[in-house]
Amino acid sequence: MTADTPRLRLSIVGVITLSLFLAMFARLYYLQVLDHESYRVAAETNQVRIVREPAPRGRILDREGRVLVDNRPSTVVTVDRSELRSLSTQQREVLLARLARTLGEPVSVLERRLADVRVSPVVPVAVARDVDPTVVTRIRENQEAFPAVAVRQEAVRTYPHGMVAAHVLGYIGEINADELEARRDRDYRGGDLIGKAGVELMYEDDLRGRSGIRKLEVDSRGRVLRDLGERAPVQGNDLRLSIDLDLQVLAEQTLADALGAARTRGDHNRRPFVAPAGAAVVLDVTDGSVLAMASHPTYDPSRFVGGITQAEFAALIDEAHHAPFTNRAVQGQYPPGSTFKLVTSVAGLRSGVINRNTTINDTGLFVIPNCRGESCRFRNAGGRSHGPVDVVRALTVSSNVFYYNIGSQLWERRGLIGDLIQQTAREFGMGERTGVPLGSESGGLVLDPDAFQQRHEANPVAFPEGQWRVGMNANLAIGEAVVLVTPLQLANAYAAFANGGTLFTPAVARDVRTQGGEVVRQLAPRVIRTIDLPPEIRDPIHQGLVNAVAASSGTAAAAFAGFPLQSYPVAGKTGTGQVPGKQDNALFVAYAPANEPRYAVAVVMEEAGFGGSAAAPVARRLLEHLAGLIDEPGDVEPVELVQGVPD
């Protein structure tokens, strides 16, 4: 080795050192000068978190502005599951144990909530709601110990009047994938709440506000250091319903009472009535708005707050428990029974097979002409005979024979005038959805011979009969065959008759207004069609309906005994709907005041007996309120059923 070797080698080390420094300078220059801009932006976005704040929904008010659905703030602790997954198994266990301790809940409960498949996997899942402020402080002050855990404020629905109008109000829930897809270009995100039923669903756009955006400066641990300004969320508008809170409360309570009372009575076989369910509807006949809509059994809408479990929801729609979630006023489909005689009367008078003076002798039995055998013999309910009846008296006493006649004659003239009863029923809105903005409405059923045949052909097992015979038409005339109506359709048909022929789309909301009460959108009445009801048709029917309530022979007379009909006349029709294998449904429809109609009331009670004995007393109680005869709905006596007559 030469002596120079170390010197040479030292020079090599020097060169290497120099190049290393040059590399550092070059890299530094690249990062800080050449590529500075992209890193500047990265640093800025690093420290700013954009937080979307859902707006509180608008409130839902009754017709007088009383609050039926409000919001209250709720503190929610959430866990981001994607963040949770990025932790090691051990870290995850430690975190869950710590969180469980802090929240005072067992770990198993947290794990179950974290496993909730109903929450979108990309949305932080709520593990605790209505959390105590001290818990919040403990989490916030020690955020590093709680990775993936966040605390947020949520506005949740609150129901100051409890279960009142649950079916009308509907509920809100977390948006699902389909709903999200349908609103892709609107301001919806996974985890948002959206109306699922009732007016919450139908007025979603009005009730939902505009979500706010907050820019927050955060540090690497997500602690918020500064609020960099925001676009405040705008609360949704209030929805003012046409529902009157007092009347609604009364309707629900009276319906429930009457069903309870019916269960203490026995049918003609001395079996107690099951009376499990029913509906009551009150309409303003002048504009079609719904003043009250009760459906029994009902449920507590606050159970939907924070999400309802599968089991709870299954119980709500279980037929074995009479499906409390079903709004029978718009989803229940019932044979209208004698209440259908309004339609048959109109059809009969229009066709000319009867006029107001046509009288027949009601012997209690109607035999189809040229027909022999028991199947050709039709009887009045209870086999009673009413003697000579015209259309007025036929409605008053609810003569079936009179209407069997009409049905039979209309069948004979079918070639000339078509299926007039069905046409008239459809004209009154039966067999089609009313369009009431409540979602999931049933259309009822009005079958004509062709549809009857088709139904048979499509499903011969369920519908063994396909040939429409005259007997079908006779039964149709008294509302017992191939026709089903919802309580709302029934009320709406009578409302149209009462107001002179205007059929409205029933409205449940009057207007949309700001929090300050300023009206944003007036919800005008919508007319479906006008029914031609000249006086020679309308008057005798009207008289018959008035007498059904007022005359001593009227089927609803017992129910209205003592009611001041002189000052507040009521027109109405009882009905007893027969369902094979079940007890009779009680129906009653009325409008009042009869001389200047304002309200239409329909009451349907399943398996509760005669319309006159069970349903009419409910309507009477509601009319007492509407007539101003009772002040406080809470003070009224329990409704009393009466001894009715068969119709």
Partner 1 sequence: MTALGTTRRDPAAAWRHIDFLLVGATLAIAILSPLMVYSASRTSLEAIGAEPTFLVVRHIGFLLAGAAVMVVAASVDYRRVRDFTPVIYAAVCALLLLVLTPLGSEVRGQQSWFQFGPLSLQPAELAKLAVILGLAAYGSTQRGDLDLRRLSVALVVAGIPMGLILLQPEVGMLLMIFVPMVVTILLIAGARPRHLAVLVALGIFGIVGAFQLEVVADYQKERLTAFLDPTGDTQRSSYNLNQSKIAIGAGGLTGAGLFQGSQTNLAFVPEQPTDFIFTVVGEELGFVGAATLLFLYAILVWRVWRAAQLARDFFGTLVCVGVLAMLVFSIFQNVGMTMGIMPITGIPLPLMSYGGTAVLTTFAALGLVLNVHMRRFA
Q: Give the C-alpha distances (Å, rounded to integers) separating 641 from 264, 556, 575, 613, 617.
A: 10, 11, 15, 6, 6
228 binds partner 1 (CB under 8 A): no
12 binds partner 1 (CB under 8 A): yes
Give the binding-site size for partner 1 (rule: CB under 8 A): 40
Say how far apart CA 369 and CA 471 lie, in whole Å: 11
- The window from 52-60, 216-224, 523-531, 596-604 that contacts partner 1 (CB under 8 A) reads 216-224
Q: Which of residues 75-104 bind partner 1 (CB under 8 A)?
A: 86
Q: How far is the CB of 49 from partner 1 (least distance, A)?
A: 11
Say if residues 294 and 280 touch (Cβ distance below 8 Å). Answer: yes
**CA atoms 39, 40, 46, 50: torsion sign:** negative
Say how far apart CA 175 and CA 195 lie, in whole Å: 8
Could you tell me the strand order of the sheet in which 48-53 lies?
A: 48-53, 212-218, 224-231
Q: Residue 385: CB partners within 8 Å, gap ≥ 6? A: 362, 363, 364, 365
Which of 218, 565, 629, 630 is in the footprint of partner 1 by CB under 8 A?
Answer: 218
Indicate the residue among 122 and 527 with the shorter CB distance to partner 1: 122
Q: Which of residues 99-138 bind partner 1 (CB under 8 A)?
A: none
Identity of the residue numbered 203: Y
Say if residues 436 and 488 touch (Cβ distance below 8 Å). Answer: yes
Task: Provide the CB-side half-sphere exposure for 65 (13 A, CA).
Answer: 7
By C-alpha distance, which of 565, 524, 532 is closest to 547?
565
Beta strand 519-522 with 509-513 is antiparallel
Which of 29, 228, 264, 413 is in the footprint of partner 1 by CB under 8 A?
Answer: 29
Q: How far is the CB of 151 from partner 1 (least distance, A)?
A: 18
552 binds partner 1 (CB under 8 A): no
317 binds partner 1 (CB under 8 A): no
Which of 133, 177, 184, 221 is in the footprint of partner 1 by CB under 8 A?
Answer: 221
Which of 40, 85, 118, 321 is in the footprint of partner 1 by CB under 8 A?
Answer: 40
Indicate the residue among 35 and 227 with the shorter CB distance to partner 1: 35
219 binds partner 1 (CB under 8 A): yes
266 binds partner 1 (CB under 8 A): no
Say how far apart CA 557 and CA 416 lie, in whole Å: 39
Indicate the residue among 86 and 355 with the shorter CB distance to partner 1: 86
Across 314-350, b (16+ Cβ under 10 Å) vs e yields ebbeeeeeebbbbbbbbbbbbbbbbbbbbbbbbbbbb
Q: How far is the CB of 175 from partner 1 (least distance, A)?
A: 28
- The window from 36-44, 233-241, 345-353, 412-420 that contacts partner 1 (CB under 8 A) reads 36-44
- The window from 12-20, 308-316, 373-381, 526-534 that contacts partner 1 (CB under 8 A) reads 12-20
Q: How far is the CB of 219 from partner 1 (least distance, A)?
A: 4
31 binds partner 1 (CB under 8 A): yes
**Interaction site with partner 1 (CB under 8 A):** 1, 3, 5-7, 9-10, 12-14, 17, 20-21, 23-25, 27-29, 31-33, 35-36, 38-40, 42-44, 46-47, 86, 217-221, 223, 225
